[in-house]
């Protein structure tokens, strides 16, 4: 069995990195029979045994962290209005299907008090509301905050000492380059304060998640999570090279892959 990095709990990241990897992160919940990023989608994922939910937040006009990947309602509700143009009360009246509507981050954290949440901060104005929601829910130890923007991610981390966090886009690119070059001391410096590197499997047609990359990142040590993986064959390949987390729209398939590997002793 491939050696895993030390527990992230040793790095002051609460219980977010438990149980031990490999882990499944349900991307926007399990949206097979439920609208994405809704309480129902989260419930669907958790009810089949998922422990980690990946989600996104924007700020409403009245300063509430609202669960939504997109900045507007066009794709999910056929409306051109933006999240930051509506109040949370107005957003709760939007029909997303299957009896679901927009939920706040506070509602999700309260509704599922044992779930771990991987929270992508999608805008600068959501940092404060998201931090407030995490604090009020007493959820510091079971969330990971991240963003494609270093500035947004770092602002949240400063306000949430000890919270788990993962690389932003630029830091991920730097870490991958240093890992490929095998420059361990610079890699550890670049990833200081980071608990996970979350990256796609490939860029511009080239695989970037390779055995060498994973081994180098594990020396830091950080976990390696790969998004968004929906093919069981690719899931197995990534697990074979030591990836710690699969971010997936098909948490049901990913759990089946993990269970099969456990039965086979892999």
Tokens 């991610």 correspond to 153
Q: Are strands 223-226 and 196-199 parallel, antiparallel or unpaired?
A: parallel
Contact 211, 189 (CB under 8 A): no
CA distance linking residue 106 with residue 137, whole number of Å? 7
Active site residues: 27, 69
Element (H, E) at 43: helix 39-47
Count of Cβ atoms closer than 10 Å to residue 100 Cβ:
18
Residue 244: both structure tokens together: 């710690």
Contact 246, 240 (CB under 8 A): no
Where would I find the beta strands (DSSP E) of the chain? Answer: 23-27, 52-59, 65-67, 116-121, 143-146, 164-165, 196-199, 202-203, 206-207, 223-226, 245-248
Contact 160, 140 (CB under 8 A): yes
């Amino acid at each position: 069995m491939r050696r895993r990095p030390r527990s992230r709990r040793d790095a002051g990241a609460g219980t977010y990195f438990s149980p031990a990897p490999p882990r499944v992160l349900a991307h926007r919940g399990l949206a097979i029979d439920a609208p994405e990023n809704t309480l129902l989608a989260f419930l669907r994922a958790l009810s089949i045994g998922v422990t980690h939910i990946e989600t996104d937040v924007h700020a409403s006009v009245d300063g509430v962290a609202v669960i939504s990947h997109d900045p507007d309602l066009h794709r999910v509700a056929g409306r051109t209005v933006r999240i930051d143009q509506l109040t949370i009360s107005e957003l709760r009246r939007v029909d997303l299907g299957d009896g679901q509507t927009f939920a706040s981050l506070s509602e999700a954290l309260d509704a599922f008090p044992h779930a771990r949440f991987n929270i992508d901060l999608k805008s600068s104005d959501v940092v404060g509301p998201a931090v407030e929601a995490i604090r009020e829910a007493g959820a510091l130890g079971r969330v990971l905050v991240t963003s494609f923007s270093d500035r947004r991610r770092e602002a949240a981390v400063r306000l949430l000492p000890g919270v788990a966090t993962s690389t932003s886009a630029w830091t991920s690119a730097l870490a991958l380059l240093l890992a490929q070059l095998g420059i361990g001391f610079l890699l550890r410096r670049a990833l200081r304060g980071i608990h996970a590197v979350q990256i796609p499997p490939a860029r511009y047609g080239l695989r970037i998640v390779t055995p060498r990359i994973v081994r180098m990142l594990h020396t830091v040590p950080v976990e390696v999570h790969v998004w968004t993986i929906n093919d069981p064959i690719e899931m197995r390949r990534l697990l074979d090279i030591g990836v710690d987390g699969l971010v997936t729209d098909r948490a049901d398939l990913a759990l089946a892959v993990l269970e099969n590997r456990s039965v086979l002793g892999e």
